[in-house]
């Protein structure tokens, strides 16, 4: 991004974050590459990394100023998130997932949670550098129906919320949840009215980790972004008091404040992986000699590098447009968010493939570090909706009366 387009605040934050990535994150990733494969999820990321992220002020973005957060300019907040998100992911995409989930859920809480619970949980988030937030939508029966969404009762969530005395009883399970293994606070979506479609019958709740009836069932061992612990949760007769209800019935609509910036941040993290792939490849091809010359002097190699750079600039341009649209609340923000999330995932997957191939055999060696970028990039094809579902969502919003109707009905 052209530095001239950034505000003073954005430039300073980006530089601080860049220094953190260069001085702390990248040396850790390079020197302790085996840590990714430690099969004890809580031991993968050293505590100091999140402590350092906290020190440089990037761990709790999204927390409102009135709760002692950093008050970013609301006119360019999502763009700032995108700039900082890209930088963290240049260091490590899993770490970026871990941290950014806090920003995204904080945005939801500040819009929907009652004041006394915002006070309580923002304080917890600020005081404990290891504290994480999670957002639980996906269930074993699949997430695509929810993303589209098909607004018919048969496509609704299986997790049920039933009114119970002065609160709610929740039963069900969630899977594939970012930070699901180690979060201290969860936002959980459940079907509170099976007679109607999910846009009218889904409610959302705040669920503290120590709520009786909540079990963290497992940590999923993912192929990439491994420094974020993805988890599975089970709810068995889990009672929640009334004030833990965030939105009743229209929770999916209300979640727009989470999903739009969320997709921008997905694309931004994805771009960070691509930027890192380009950096290491540009370095490699200008130093590694084959056929009597450094690689970049061979035209086939130079062409690939040109292709990588062009794809990254195209992603960056669309990301800039989408993040500005969200900040401005413009009507095309939603469709642009889906477009950039989709576009980034496919372009950066190709960029990472070029990086892998240009490194030859070194590209697939774990200790060399390049194959990690390829694995991390692959994850983004599935997160926050698959590529096919994202395309479908784009067309659905353009042609709601034809593409938008339920494929299962006549």
Ligand X SMILES: Cc1cc2nc3c(=O)[nH]c(=O)nc-3n(C[C@H](O)[C@H](O)[C@H](O)COP(=O)(O)OP(=O)(O)OC[C@H]3O[C@@H](n4cnc5c(N)ncnc54)[C@H](O)[C@@H]3O)c2cc1C
Stretch of 111-119, 171-179, 292-300, 309-317 lying at the interface with ligand X (CB under 6 A): 171-179
DSSP secondary structure letter of residue 25: I
Q: Does 362 bind ligand X (CB under 6 A)?
A: no
Q: CB of 147: closest distance to ligand X in angstroms?
A: 6
Burial 34-54 (b: 16+ CB within 10 A, else e): eebeeeebeebbeeebbebbb
State which residue, 370 or 378, has the beta carbon closest to ligand X. Answer: 378
C-beta of residue 349 within 8 angstroms of C-beta of residue 381: yes
Which member of 178, 204, 229, 266 binds ligand X (CB under 6 A)?
178
Which member of 20, 176, 235, 258 binds ligand X (CB under 6 A)?
176
Q: Does 397 bind ligand X (CB under 6 A)?
A: no
- Those residues with Cβ within 8 angstroms of residue 284's Cβ, 6 or more apart along the chain or in another chain: 295, 358, 359, 362
Helices (H), 230-332: 251-254, 256-285, 299-328
The residues in 252-311 that bind ligand X, with binding defined as CB under 6 A, are none
C-beta of residue 44 within 8 angstroms of C-beta of residue 4: no
Q: CB of 227: closest distance to ligand X in angstroms?
A: 12
Distance CA 63, CA 288 (A): 46
Q: Does 143 bind ligand X (CB under 6 A)?
A: yes
Q: Does 230 bind ligand X (CB under 6 A)?
A: yes
Stretch of 176-184, 198-206, 252-260, 300-308 lying at the interface with ligand X (CB under 6 A): 176-184
Stretch of 203-211, 255-263, 328-336, 386-394 lying at the interface with ligand X (CB under 6 A): 386-394
Neighbours of 158 (CB within 10 A): 14
Q: CB of 220: closest distance to ligand X in angstroms?
A: 8
Distance CA 9, CA 276 (A): 24
Which member of 253, 388, 399, 400 binds ligand X (CB under 6 A)?
388
Q: Does 251 bind ligand X (CB under 6 A)?
A: no
Q: Does 379 bind ligand X (CB under 6 A)?
A: yes
Parallel, antiparallel or unpaired: strands 293-294 and 289-290 = antiparallel
Which residues of the chain form contacts with ligand X (CB under 6 A)?
Answer: 135-138, 142-144, 147, 176-178, 222, 225, 230, 379, 382-386, 388-389
């Amino acid at each position: 991004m052209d530095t001239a387009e950034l505000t003073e605040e954005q430039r300073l934050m980006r530089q601080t974050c860049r220094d953190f990535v260069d001085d702390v994150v990248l040396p850790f990733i390079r020197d302790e590459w085996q840590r990714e494969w430690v099969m004890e999820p809580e031991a993968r990321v050293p505590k100091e990394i999140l402590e350092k992220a906290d020190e440089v002020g990037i761990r709790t973005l999204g927390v409102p100023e009135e709760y002692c957060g950093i008050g970013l300019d609301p006119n360019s907040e999502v763009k700032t998130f995108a700039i900082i998100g890209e930088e963290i992911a240049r260091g490590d995409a899993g770490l970026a997932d871990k941290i950014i989930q806090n920003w995204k859920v904080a945005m939801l809480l500040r819009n929907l949670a009652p004041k006394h619970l915002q006070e309580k949980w923002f304080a917890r988030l600020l005081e404990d550098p290891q504290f994480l937030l999670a957002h639980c939508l996906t269930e074993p029966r699949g997430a695509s129906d929810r993303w589209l969404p098909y607004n018919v009762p048969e496509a609704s969530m299986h997790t049920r919320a039933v009114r119970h005395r002065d609160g709610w009883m929740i039963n069900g399970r969630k899977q594939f949840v970012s930070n699901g293994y180690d979060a201290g606070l969860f936002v959980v979506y459940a079907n509170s009215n099976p007679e109607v479609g999910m846009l009218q019958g889904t409610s959302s709740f705040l669920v503290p980790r120590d709520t009786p009836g909540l079990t963290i069932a497992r940590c999923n061992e993912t192929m990439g972004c491994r420094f974020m612990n993805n988890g599975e949760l089970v709810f068995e007769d889990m009672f929640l008091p009334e004030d833990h209800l965030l939105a009743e019935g229209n929770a999916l609509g209300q979640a727009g404040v989470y999903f739009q910036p969320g997709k921008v941040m997905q694309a931004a993290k994805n771009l960070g992986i691509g930027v890192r792939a380009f950096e290491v490849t540009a370095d490699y091809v200008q130093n590694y000699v084959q056929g009597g010359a450094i690689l970049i002097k061979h035209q086939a190699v130079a062409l690939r590098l040109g292709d990588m750079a062009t794809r990254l600039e195209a992603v960056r341009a669309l990301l800039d447009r989408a993040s500005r649209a969200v900040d401005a609340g413009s009507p095309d923000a939603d469709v642009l968010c889906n477009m950039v999330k989709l576009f980034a995932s496919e372009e950066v997957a190709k960029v990472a493939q070029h990086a892998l191939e240009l490194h030859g055999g070194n590209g697939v060696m774990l200790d060399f570090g390049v194959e990690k970028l390829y694995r991390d990039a692959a994850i983004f094809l599935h997160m926050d909706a698959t590529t096919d579902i994202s395309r479908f969502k784009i067309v659905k919003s353009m042609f709601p009366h034809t593409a938008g109707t339920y494929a299962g009905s006549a």
